[in-house]
Structure 1
Amino acid sequence: MSISPDLATSLTAIGSIMDGATDPWWIIGSAAVALHGADPDSVGDVDVLLSVADARRIFPTIGIELRRGSAHALFRSSIFGRWTETALPVEFMADFYRHSGTAWVPVRPTTRQAVELDGTMVFIPEQAEMETMLAKFGRPKDIERARRLATQAERHSGNRIVFGK
């Protein structure tokens, strides 16, 4: 299994920036699907969940303004930032919620799998949790990505995935 050069470059940059994080953080969405070995169809950006404290500490170091918001009406964050200094844009979301019916539901992964890319670590929810998360997001592209994860023939075992040399 391989990932695109743009995704690898972006993930390595994220891993370097997030190395200073004090709280758990995760790559989610299409990039996580790709890191699990399934075909996400496309990866247009990289989504990162992080704590509010880490966002307040890390955003100023990479020139991101602290603001509320989201890139989509079905999601919101107490702090949202878009970093465009990487090969793929990176969307950082602190205190992240998804809309479900009439309520906003927090998105808080409980599993954390390490992925090594050329010596840099990034973290993703374990496969089953990522499938569930995508299905609950409810958008057609997320449901399709959850299906692709569920039918992924090559399952990764252990706690660590390594890419690169």
Structure 2
Amino acid sequence: MAAADPLTPAVRAGLAAAARLLSPARAPWWVIGSAAVALHGADPGAIADIDILLDPDDAARLLPPAGIALAAGTADGLFRSALFGRWTEAPLPVEFMAGLAVRTGTGWHPVRLDPPVRIALGNTELPLPGRAALHALLRLFGRPKDHRRAAALAATAGPPVASSGTPPHASG
């Protein structure tokens, strides 16, 4: 029996809504996390929300007019963001992280990604890290669910979707 498509109607509608909301963005933004894994054709498991990484200026300009309250992201021990907002009016909750940083053994380091690759989902073009960059990002996050998603991504058939160069990194 084939696995269920993780890109459920709610995920598809949530991604399309986020893309419409961010269409006037001035800086690149990325779909990351489980939705990005599914967009690359791997099974991330259940998708409970959509994670978006974006520029702090775009977050401050675009999200509040849509009714998305922004706050300084609180550090949870592994992650923190300059701004964080959760959009619950979308068909599936969307979490916006601007200025995301990851804690490594040497402290907090901002996550930087190469320019996004674009994958079409219906009539919507979605930006996300290339396959190799997404794999590296999931490994950097380091939680068990991220390792499972990285393994699923690595196990999918076909060559990686090319990014423009280096995988993501925590820079400091």
| TM-score scaled by length of structure 1 | 0.89
Q: Which residue of 1 aligns with 2:86?
A: 82
Classify the secondary structure of the residue corresponding to 1:68. Answer: coil
Q: Which residue of 2 aligns with 1:18?
A: 22
Q: Which residue of 2 aligns with 1:163?
A: none
- How many angstroms apart in 2 are the aligned matches of 1:14 and 1:73? 27
- How many angstroms apart in 1 are the aligned matches of 2:161 and 2:46? 24
Q: Which residue of 1 aligns with 2:139?
A: 135
Q: Which residue of 1 aligns with 2:56?
A: 52
Q: Give the total of aligned pairs.
A: 159
Deviations 1:96-131 (A, max 9, x none): 101112411211111411122232222100000000
Q: Which runs of 5+ in 2 are unaligned?
A: 164-172
Q: Which runs of 5+ in 1 are unaligned?
A: 160-165
Residues 18 and 5 of structure 1, relative CA distance in 2, 3 Å threshold:
same
Q: Which residue of 1 aligns with 2:99?
A: 95
Query: Where do 1:97-112 residues align within 5 Å?
Result: 97-112=101-116
- % identical aligned pairs: 45
Classify the secondary structure of the residue corresponding to 1:81. Answer: strand
Native 8 Å contact 1:111 1:129 kept in 2: no
- The residue type paired with residue 76 of structure 1 is R
- The residue type paired with residue 110 of structure 1 is D
1:5 aligns with 2:9: yes
Residues 66 and 109 of structure 1, relative CA distance in 2, 3 Å threshold:
same
Native 8 Å contact 2:130 2:162 kept in 1: no
Q: Which residue of 2 aligns with 1:35?
A: 39
Deviations 1:126-154 (A, max 9, x none): 00000010011010000110011011114
Classify the secondary structure of the residue corresponding to 2:140. Answer: helix
